[in-house]
Chain A
Amino acid sequence: MNKRPSSTNAFVRFNDAVGDQWSQISDRLLVSRGASRMLILVILSFAFFAALNPSVFLSPLNLQNIAVASPEVGVIAIAMMLAMLTGGIDLSLVAIANLSAITISTLYSAVAAGNPAAAEQLTPVLVLIGLVVGLLGGLFNGFLVSRVGITPILATLGTMQIYNGIAVAWTGGSTLYGSPEVLTAIGHATVAGVPMLFIIFLLTAGVIGVVVSRTPLGLRIQFQGANPVAARYSGINSRRVLMSTHVVAGLLGGLAGVLFIARNPTASADYGASYVLLVIVIAVLGGTNPAGGFGTVAGVVLATLTLQIVSSGFTAVRLSAYEYAMAQGVILILVMVADQVTWRRRRRPQTTPVDPVAVGT
């Protein structure tokens, strides 16, 4: 090092400084890109199907269907994004949601058998209990991940089986009917043409978005996922962060259960089985880094809408659900490949200037 003339050192320093600046700028670009790319995809897919079959696709009924179908998937996808932010994953979310819906339905039916009016009045309590079920599910996940130290994918794979097993055993595998009429009314209600469920979805997304980007907890969650070692040395209590993340995710799972039952006054153990993998697709599509550290709520919301638009668009132009499944896979892989290619291009200028220095010493 000492042999080298100071001019090279200055040059290296200058080079590093430029490199740092560049990576900061491009990082910022990437942050906004996650959401803005999805915004472009939403608009493109919407315009595409609107052009193909405007009479069906643009009908108020179809648009309302999109808005009614997205919330339950979207809320779970946001929860999945939270788990992914810490570098984990939560496979048990759909099982938690179903357990919450089943709890509400069972309790309602039990009370309504004796006194229907009282059961209706108890609706807020029932919803609260549904959320508590989600909270408890998340608490157990968090305990396994943060205290026992099980890898999230294994812990939640196990709890998914447990929660789902409990739900199947509880319901005997059959569909439960009976839910508070108020919830059903909310499920069908619209405000200025916009379904109530969709508004609830946006509100939830807004709250979580603020938590992630504006609170110390959100910052810790992102830091934990970006670099667990650095987070630990910075004095972040990773146990507490992981615990809070899974509790919030579980709570969102419980909320999704309430949305299930509001949209459809039934509850069953195997509802939304395909959601488990679908929400991973949505989270990743929305720009969430599955390795942790990066993801935006806006990206996830827009990704939810994109997939829902493509889904109903396919129906509008008379393509089958099977072709939708294919499109889903193709979109996911294409987006990942595009990400990968741009990542590589961004990394190259950073690594090349380092090499001559390494050779020189």
Chain B
Amino acid sequence: MNTSGSSVSVLRRLRGANNEGVLALILIGLVLAMSAANPAFFTLPTMFAIVRSSIVPLIFALGVLIVIISGGIDVSFAAIAVFAAYTTVRFSTSITDPGLIGAFALALLVGAGLGLVNGAVIARFKLPTLIVTLGTQGIFKGALLTYIGSRYIADLPGSMAAVSTTNVVEISVDGRDAYLHVMAVPALLLCLAVAWMLRRTMFGRGIYAIGGDQEAARRAGFRVVRIQVLMYVLVGMLAAVGGMAYQIMGRSSSPQELVGGELDIIAAVVLGGASIFGGRGSVLGTTLGVLVVQVIGNSLILAGVPSAWQRAAVGGLLIVGVGVQALAAKKSGRRVHTNVDDPAPEPEPEAEREREGARA
């Protein structure tokens, strides 16, 4: 790889371990193209609107990223999110309002419990994660609608409703007001926290190790079962925060929402460079992936293209992104995103892991 000269290695570094550089270029290119085509795009209100619409997908994407790095796929996070958030709202409106912190604590508790179910089944019985989370998705949603409630709640409890209308930044530009919703702050903090956890803690390194090779991770001394269970608990809690953010920003609570959009989030995470085989992926890439998806949606609307094409555009981008990687891997003799031939482990993640391990 390094034989072709130092300029290549610089380029490689700029590109990032998970193509973050390429994604950033696409993002900048999209923003520039849209700004040139429509001056209304490059304004603070638009930027804030994009950030606002990215908050909830981003929080979900963090959880999905963690599971994908560990070599799994989680399709139950939306069910956990809606379960935790709706249960909290239902509790707060019908029994007593526990305050904002209490509400989040309750949601986190519920999310952790549901995550524990996922983790326990997956780690104990070593079942495919996609199948288990498919099952728990149905169980969680069914249990929510059967035992907690199926009614749409239009009024959030006072403590949550107060946050709904709070903005962290309010700027007036050229007579137009730009608002940045306060939920952007916890989303950003969560990004930093997850990035730190994945890169700097033994737990995070363990997740990468399990995703790279579960058996190797076990022999290297990682407690695979414990890491997996803890990880799914954590992912459940992230989903709960995402659900709370969704309801707070939507100013209502419905048990019928969120579930069904899982694949869109997974697409954004994969777009962000996470390998579906596990072992690689980064918070930066995921954040860029979510932003690209949102910017595409926003640009299409501004460009007068029916928003229906957003899905097709994201799908096309996903195919092109992964396809280019697969073709490049084929050319250089490695096999990454393929099951056509033998899925030989690529050397790169290991080197990456060692480098980061040494740094930590």
Contacts and interface: CB of A to CB of B under 8 A. Distances in A.
Contact of B339 (A159, A169, A228): A228
A233 to B, nearest CB: 9
B306 A159 contact: no
Contacts of A242: 340
Task: Pick from B144, B263, B319, B335 the residue with the most CB of A within 10 Å.
Answer: B319
Contacts of A336: 125, 127-128, 131-132, 135
Given A158-B315, A328-B138, A172 B337 contact: no
Interface in A140-174: 144-146, 148-155, 157-166, 168-169, 172-173
Contact of A333 (B73, B132, B339): B132
Contacts of A87: 339
Contacts of A280: 130-131, 134
Task: Pick from B75, B127, B266 the residue with the most CB of A within 10 Å.
Answer: B127
Interface residue SS majority, chain B: helix
Given A165-B312, A323-B142, A340-B125, A157 B131 contact: no
B145 A322 contact: yes
Contacts of B139: 325-326, 329-330, 333
Contact of B126 (A86, A290, A340): A340
A229 B313 CA distance: 35
B319 to A, nearest CB: 4
B322 A155 contact: yes
B65 to A, nearest CB: 15
A229 to B, nearest CB: 4
B308 A150 contact: no
A155 B276 CA distance: 11
Contact of B308 (A158, A168, A238): A168
Interface in A210-254: 228-229, 232, 238-239, 242
Nearest to A340: B125
A326 B146 contact: yes
B326 A165 contact: no
Interface in B48-78: 73, 75
Interface in B339-356: 339-343
Interface in A304-351: 320, 322-330, 332-333, 336-337, 340-341
Contact of A91 (B131, B263, B306, B326): B263
B319 A329 contact: no
A343 to B, nearest CB: 10
B316 interface: yes
Interface string B150-194: 100000000000000000000000000000000000000000000
B244 interface: no
Contact of A332 (B131, B260, B276): B131
Contacts of A228: 339-343
A297 interface: no
A322 B150 CA distance: 10
A356 to B, nearest CB: 22
A324 B141 CA distance: 11
B131 A149 contact: no
Contacts of B339: 86-88, 145, 151-152, 228
B338 interface: yes
Interface string B103-143: 00000000000000000010001111011101111111111
B327 interface: yes
Given A162-B316, A164-B311, A325 B142 contact: yes
A267 B240 CA distance: 36
A273 interface: yes
B136 A149 contact: no
B128 A291 contact: yes
Interface string A86-119: 1110010000000000000000000000000000
A302 interface: no
18 contacts: A149-B335, A150-B323, A151-B277, A158-B318, A169-B308, A169-B312, A276-B263, A277-B134, A320-B146, A323-B146, A326-B142, A326-B143, A328-B135, A332-B138, A333-B136, A336-B132, A340-B125, A341-B125
Interface of B: 73, 75, 121, 125-128, 130-132, 134-146, 150, 260, 263-264, 266-267, 270, 276-277, 306, 308-316, 318-319, 322-323, 326-327, 329-330, 335, 337-343
Given A159-B319, A274-B260, 18 more contacts: A86-B339, A148-B327, A151-B322, A157-B266, A161-B263, A161-B312, A165-B308, A165-B315, A228-B339, A228-B341, A228-B343, A281-B135, A290-B131, A322-B150, A325-B139, A333-B136, A336-B127, A336-B132
Listed from nearest, the 9 A-B pairs whose CB atoms lie closest are A165-B312, A161-B315, A326-B142, A329-B138, A329-B139, A322-B145, A325-B142, A165-B311, A149-B338
